[in-house]
Amino acid sequence: MKCLTLLRAALAAALLVTTPSLVLAQAKTVNFSILATESSTSLQSFWAPIIADMEKQTGYKIKPFYGSNYTALIEAMRFKQTDLGWFSNQSGLEAVRRSGGEVFVRTFDPSGRDGYRSLIIVPAKSTLTLDQVLKCDKSLNFGIGDAKSTSGTLAPMTYLFAPRGIKPTECFKTVRSANHQANLFAVARGVLDVATNNSTAVNLQKDRDPSVNDAIRIIWSSPPLPEDPIVWRKDLDPQVKARLRKFFESYGQGTGPEAARQRALLSKVSIGGFKPADNSHLLPVREMEATEIYLVAKDEGDAAKIAAAQKVLAGIQAERKALAGRTPK
């Protein structure tokens, strides 16, 4: 009897040692922000089962944060209202610069393609050509993306407008900023004459409602853009980071019905899965940003600004070249 009593006491002591950490993991809340590519109602319905899986695998309570725009996501991380988030490349870059963020994984497309494209779309019934859009006669209503959107704003500015010295506010009758889904529907319904978008949003809508895509026509596409980063705060607890990394790097991977179920959930938000990454993932968008600044300075004819912009651009290009030299082929 005495031995049994001692055994029970030892077991109780062991539980006192191990239970607090387990309870902490179960009780801890991790705030996860999600970029606003469409209405928050749609995003909530598509992300809810993925978040439930994240909670089950990490042991944490995952609280989603759906920002109305990219700046809201950046500021939420800056003031530690969120711990990690799904960002576009440009907004992710701002989160790294201003919010103590750090890239740890990035997405890839459900088709397996690595990269997507910025688009310029018009109504299918419209006879507008790209040349007519670029005439800048202030007769067209134009839809642009969020100011921190890579494909909705930065890419068309870098590859299409800035090289021609075009400022959208001086080119079009009206300029309206909205997310990709809103701009897609506005063009399809003829509310906008022309708008920016991206191949991911267009393909996603094609799967949901082909009639919307039948109502638009693509008149321009950019060079390939890097996939979206997932960014966490650098000061997160290492244990939290480890659990989150394990979830993202394993989710939707492998074979079998469970992996297939996870991939099906991710495909509804046009994600095929996640790959390890770091801040070097943002080098292409840094180069795009620097290119736009250089082109604007060149258009203005300011020698000092041109020289400063060239120096920044050359530095980034050197970083990319060095990185390419270290990456195994």
263, 272 Cβ separation under 8 angstroms: yes
Q: Quick one: pLDDT at residue 209?
A: 87
DSSP string, 160-187: IIGGGT--HHHHSSEEEE--HHHHHHHH
Asked if residues 70 and 40 have their Cβ atoms less than 8 Å apart, the reply is no
Side by side, which strands form the sheet with 141-144? 174-177, 141-144, 194-198, 118-123, 216-221
Residue length of the chain: 329
Contacts of 310 (CB under 8 A, 6+ apart): 294
Q: Where are the domains of the chain?
A: 2-112+227-277, 118-221, 283-326
- pLDDT for 205 equals 87
Low-confidence ranges of the chain (pLDDT < 70): 1-27, 37-40, 327-329
* 3-state SS, residue 53: helix
Q: CATH assignment of 2-112+227-277?
A: 3.40.190.10
* Per-residue pLDDT, 37: 67
Query: What percent of the chain is modeled with pLDDT above 70?
Result: 89
Take residue 203 and report the two structure tokens written for it: 């393909």
CB atoms inside a 10 Å sphere around CB 136: 16
Q: Which two tokens stand for residue 161?
A: 């407008």
User: What confidence score (pLDDT) does residue 18 get?
Assistant: 41
- 66 φ/ψ sector (left φ>0, alpha ψ -120 to 50, else beta): beta
Torsion of CA 50, 54, 60, 63, to 10 degrees: -30
Equal fold, 2-112+227-277 vs 118-221: yes
End-to-end CA distance of the chain: 68
**CB of 294 closer than 8 Å to CB of 310:** yes
CA 209 to chain centre: 23
Q: What is the structure's pLDDT at 325? A: 76
Amino acid at site 273: G
CATH number for 118-221 (one of 3.40.190.10, 3.40.50.620, 3.30.390.50, 3.40.50.720): it is 3.40.190.10
Instruction: Tell me the pTM.
Output: 0.84
Does residue 283 contact residue 226 with C-beta atoms inside 8 Å? no
Residue 174's DSSP bridge partners are 141
Instruction: Answer yes or no: are the C-beta atoms of 116 and 199 closer than 8 Å.
Output: yes
- Beta-carbon count within 10 A of 156 CB: 24
The helix/strand/coil state of 192 is coil
CA 194 to chain centre: 23
pLDDT digits (tens, 9 = 90+) for 191-244: 999 999 999 999 988 888 889 999 999 999 999 999 999 999 999 999 999 999
